Amino acid sequence: MTGVEAAAVPPPTSTPRTYRYYDLVMAAFVCVLLCSNLIGVRKLTTFDLPVVGVVVFAAGNLFFPISYLFGDILTEVYGYARSRRVVWAGFAALAWASIHAAVVVNLPPAAESLARQENLEWAFGSTARIAGASLVAYFCGEFMNSLVLAKLKVLTEGRWLPLRTIGSTVVGEAVDSVLFYPLAFYGVFSNDTLMAIMATNYCIKVGWEIVATPITVRVVAWFKKIEHEDFYDTNTRFTPFSLKV
């Protein structure tokens, strides 16, 4: 074979790994995230619990921790880099939903919708401050959850999955709560009320993760078996500002 002929042969390329359910997990993650931030986010609900007493919390937080369950699956099975892409997808979806809601709510209503405009503004008219706080808190909290889980997996050599998922949620939800509530509501509520709301919602989110841990462990094991994947981030560059896998 001549030099010209050899040069014409393209170099071998590696085929990117494909997965059966990665895109579906991504879609489920984004769906839960959007619903948690759009449905019931401004509604406060209350429960009278034994021993604890009356607990008041934002209704939207009831299902938000499910996004952390999906985050655990993504990082534990597919690795930090692929989880990072999903976090960015969720961030883009949240940003667009905020813009979409702001435009729709602020469009001048027709006569037929005038009576319902106030209700629409109450349900979907989040201020720019709350929307911005939500984006910042989500971005930092989700990345910390994924980072801690990936690091702990390497450190423990894949053991103690329940402790790793709970530990990563404890850190991730702490970052989310410490950022969101002061950014969104400082000066709106008294400091004591703000701290009480923040602590209550944080405990609900972490408690949700603890209760769901047996399910998380089973689901993660199922995904690992189906996907033939159990990714270890031993050589991963842990910057959040990348979409590479």
- Compute, in degrees rounded to 10, the torsion defined by CA atoms 150, 152, 153, 157: 150
Task: Return the number of other C-beta atoms located less than 10 Å from residue 184's C-beta.
Answer: 20
Residue type, 107: L
* Euclidean distance between CA atoms 89 and 91, whole angstroms: 5
> What's the pTM value of the predicted model, to 2 decimals?
0.85
**Domain range summary for the chain, segments of one domain joined by +:** 21-106+119-227
Joined tokens for residue 176: 């989310």
Structure tokens of 192? Answer: 């004591």
Q: Is the pLDDT of residue 90 over 90?
A: yes
Q: Rounded to whole angstroms, how far apart are CA atoms 56 and 75?
A: 32
Nearest to 44 by CA among 54, 31, 53, 29: 54
Fold for domain 21-106+119-227?
Arp2/3 complex 21 kDa subunit ARPC3 (1.10.1760)
Q: 172-214, pLDDT tens digit by residue?
A: 999 999 999 899 888 878 888 889 888 888 988 899 889 999 9
Residue 57: strand pairing partners: 45
Residue 167, pLDDT above cutoff 90:
yes
